[in-house]
Amino acid sequence: MDYEGILLGMGNPLLDISAVVDQEFLDKYGLRLNDAILADEKHKPMYEELSSKHNVEYIAGGATQNSIRVAQWMLQIPGATAYMGSIGKDKFGEEMKKNAQQAGVKVHYHEDESPTGTCGVCVLGGERSLVANLSAANCYKIDHLKKAENWALVEKAKYYYIAGFFLTVSPDSIMLVAEHAAAKNKVFCTNLSAPFICEFFKDRQDQLIPYVDYLFGNETEARTFSKAHGWETENVEEIALKISQLPKASGTRKRITVITQGADPVVVAEDGKVKLFPLAPLPKEKLVDTNGAGDAFVGGFLSEMVVEKEVEVCVRAGCYAANVIIQRSGCTYPPKPDYH
């Protein structure tokens, strides 16, 4: 089988500026651990402050790009994945390109006049708080997607992954890809991504859901989704099931909902049933930071999905990838996976 360009991602490419901080730092900027938010005025000085820390690291990130890089790493098939998004014409943008090429992902970036987007990753006790300053990432337009050389990537792919964060940037680009996937009987995947997406971008998310074959998320996002839809349940298994049964645009395959819960079992809802997949415990001292764990889980999952493995195998690959990532700083990994 030809795996070239089989998996395509679109999203907000962000350079992670990652550093270990203290509670005082989080309080100063009004940040909560395990949250992901968009930067506003009060966060602007934070990036400078993070950059000045002696332990700062710069890592090419952005949720979808992380997942695609991890899928590429797990697959070890050159050119199997592609990715689109918007970066700036600056040193962070160059860093991003270099990083993607090293990862073996075929990137088609739109290059914008604004600076490359950054994400402040504030790590405390192994947990993380993310503050994204989208900047150039916010400038992605459907015109870029429609250019022949970019649309060719869409035509070539059989699987698509676009995290919910992109709903804040170019919902029309997402819908175009989602409609293509439904029309051509291809597989479209997305992520709840963050509580604020489920709350403040609910209408855009609801418009997309009928096209979604696989929906990922974590327990906090699932509960926020439930609340936003007036479901009056906090039970993650129940929520996953309800999401899997929401109406679908194309009737060819049923929706599968996959919800991670940190160290607790992964919840998979499909076909009116829920399965739980427990995780192997990780000793506390091995946890470096959780940044990118959810993205890595999706990347691992997708790597087995595109080679048409059953859900159990995909979940196991997702758990393996997440386990590797949380023992390292940021969404990084060793040269080769030690998997199978």
User: Active-site positions?
Assistant: 295
H helical segments located in 214-292: 219-228, 236-244
DSSP codes joined into one string, 161-206: EEEGGGGGT-HHHHHHHHHHHHHTT-EEEEE---HHHHHHTHHHHH
d(CA 164, CA 144): 19
Q: What share of the chain is helix, strand, coil (3-state, %, to 5)?
A: 45, 25, 35
Residue 328: how many other CB atoms lie within 10 Å? 16
Cα angle, residue 209 at apex, residues 167 and 305 outer, rounded to 5°: 95
3-state class (DSSP) for residue 70: helix
Helix, strand or coil, per DSSP, at residue 45: helix
Q: Starting at the earlier edge strand, list the strands of the sheet with 36-38.
A: 36-38, 127-133, 118-124, 14-20, 57-61
93-109 b/e (C-beta count within 10 Å ≥ 16 → b):
bebbeebbeebbbbbbb
Which letter, b or e, does each residue of 20-45 get, where b requires 16 or more Cβ atoms within 10 Å of its Cβ? bbeeebbeebebeeebbbbbeeebee
Cβ burial of 210 (10 Å; 0-12, 13-18, 19+) is middle
